[in-house]
Structure 1
C-alpha cells in the first residue's frame, strides 16, 4: 500500500467518482468535507477542483486511513467518526460548508485484511471494529447478546429469513463453548444456511454484525441531521450507500427531514425540511464501471441541496 500521492487502486477504488464530484458542484474557493476518507480517492479528486483558498476537512477513524493522509495544506484530517461532524466543524471553524460527501461502503482494503475479521474468506477473531479502540467486538455481540437482540440484529440489519432460528442456534451453542473466530461461527451455523446460498447468507450475517458493532445506522442518522446544520444554503450533500437500510435513511431524511413518520408542514402547507433532492432518483453505477469494480453494483448515490 502506497502513501502520499501513489497509486491508491490497491487500497480502494472510489465508486462513481465522477458522479460524486459532479454532485458536489464544487466552488474552487469553497469548504468541503469528506466524512469517509478511506484511501483518499474522493478527497484527492476534490482537492484537484479547489484553488489555494479552498479547504477540505476529512474524517476517518480507521488506522489504515491515517497512513494515507495526502500531504496538502488545504486538507485537515480529523481522526473521528462522522457522527461528531458538528463538533469538529466548530473546532476547525468550518460551520458553514459548501459540500459534504459520504461514501458509506467499507473499503475493499478493510475486507482484504484477514485480522480485521470483516471477511468471510479468512479465519480470524470475530472483531469487525472500524475503530480499533472501540469497546465492543463481533465476538462480544455473539457471546453476550440475548437471543431476542440477536434475532433483531440478524433480521433487521442482515435481512436474514431465518434470523430467529439463527439466534437460537448461537445462544444454544455458546452454552457449551464461546464462539470466538470466524471458523467457529461458520461451523456453528452451517446447518442453518440454505444450500447453494452459503456466500450470500454469510455476507448478510457479517453485515448485520458489522452494523451492530460499529453502530452504523445510529451514526448515519446523527451525521445526516448534523450535515443539514453545517451546510450553507445552496450547499450540497452527496451520500453513497450500499444497502437498503442505509439508503432508506438517506432517502427519508432528504425527502422529509426525518427518518420515519409523516412529513411535517407549516401553516401554509409547505413541507418543513432542510434539504431538497437534486436528482429525483438515486444514481447508480454504469455497466462499464460495474464490470471493472463489482462493489459498484449495489451503490446508490443521492444528491441533495440545502434549502
Structure 2
C-alpha cells in the first residue's frame, strides 16, 4: 500500500517480479516509488482551489506529502486497509491536517471514502499496489521470508484469513492454484505436496519454517538463480490472503467512475497480473467504440480516457540503484476527457 513497492518487466514479459523480500536486509529507507514522475503526472489536475486527491493506498504517506506540498490548495482523502498505516500517515501529514481526511477502507471503497469526506468526485487518484515497506519490514506481519515470524500476511489485521490458515487448511489443489496463479510458481505442485506432507505432522506456523520447506521442494539447480526460492510462494500467499486481484478488479471501475473530467489517475503495479488488469481497464475507456461503418464518431462512443503514459513506464536506472524495492514497478496513468457513458 503506499510508499515503497516493486516492479515487473516491460509489456509482454510475464517473468515473475522481484518481490520486496529479496531486499529485506537492505537499508529500510522508505522512499516513495517514482515520486517525481507521480507528482509530474498528477499536479496538473490538482491546481484549482479545493481539488480532491484520493490516495487509495496511503501507506506511509510519501506520495501524498509531496503532492500536498506541491499543491497548497488541494485536499487529500487518504485511504488504507491497514490501521497502522493510517495512524502513521496522520502523524506525518499533521502539518496539513486542515486539508486531510483519512478513511479505513479497501481501495475498492473509494466512492464511500469520498462521500465520507464530503466529496462526490476526485480530481486525481493514486493506487500504489502491493505490500508496503512498513508491512514488509515489521517482522510480526509475516510478509518476509528472510525473518522468523508468525505466518500472518494480513494487510488489514482486523480481517480473518491468515497465511497460516491458507497453508494448513487449503486442499492441495487450491494451494497449487494459489501458488501457480498468484505466485507464478512453476513448481507449484511440488511445493504444495511438500506442504501437505509436512502439515500431516502438525501445523506450519512460522515464515522461516515455510521458507525452508519451499527451498527444499524447489530443484537444486533452480535455487541457484532468481533470488530466494520462497519469494513466489510468499507472493502467492500474500495475494490470496488479501484478495488483492479481486479487489483491484473492483477498484479500477470504482475509481474511474468518480474521476472528474480533467482528472487524472496513476497506478503503480508490481506484478504482471496487476499491470495487465490496469492496462485492460484503461484501454477499454481509451477506445472509440463507434461502429466502423459510421462516418463520424458518436459522442457517447468517443474515448472517456486519454492515456498519459506510453505503455507501462519503468523507474530509471538511477532510482533502481537508490531504491532497490522500485525494481519491479510499472506505472500507467490516464486522464478523463469526457463524462462516463451512461
Q: Same fold (TM over 0.5)?
A: yes
SS at match of 1:158: coil
Matched, 1:292 2:322: yes
Matched, 1:19 2:37: yes
SS at match of 2:331: strand
- Structure 1's unaligned 5+ residue stretches are 1-8
CA distance in 1, matches of 2:75, 2:84: 23
SS at match of 2:327: helix
Partner of 2:155: 130
SS at match of 2:164: helix
Among 244, 252, 277, which residue is 2:307 paired with? 277
CA distance in 2, matches of 1:134, 1:277: 36
Matched, 1:180 2:205: yes
User: Given the superposition, is the C-alpha separation of residues 51 and 190 from structure 1 closer, same or farther in structure 2, using an over 3 Å criterion?
Assistant: closer
Question: Are the equivalent residues in 1 in contact too, given 2:46–2:53 (CA < 8 A)?
Answer: no
Shift of 1:264: 9.1
SS at match of 2:333: strand
Q: How many residues were matched structurally? A: 294
Question: Are the equivalent residues in 1 in contact too, given 2:77–2:113 (CA < 8 A)?
Answer: no
Partner of 1:51: 72
CA distance in 2, matches of 1:276, 1:82: 23
Shift of 1:88: 1.9
SS at match of 2:108: helix
Partner of 1:41: 62
CA distance in 1, matches of 2:191, 2:288: 39
SS at match of 1:200: coil
SS at match of 1:120: coil
Matched, 1:226 2:254: yes
Matched, 1:104 2:129: yes
**Which is worse superposed, 38-47 or 105-114?**
105-114
Partner of 1:167: 192
* TM-score normalised by structure 2 residue count: 0.80
SS at match of 1:166: helix
- Structure 2's unaligned 5+ residue stretches are 1-26, 338-342
Shift of 1:105: 3.5
Which structure carries more relative contact order (alpha carbon 8 Å, separation 6+)? 2
Partner of 2:244: 216
CA distance in 1, matches of 2:236, 2:322: 27
Shift of 1:91: 2.6
Partner of 2:230: 202
* TM-score normalised by structure 1 residue count: 0.89
Shift of 1:10: 5.5
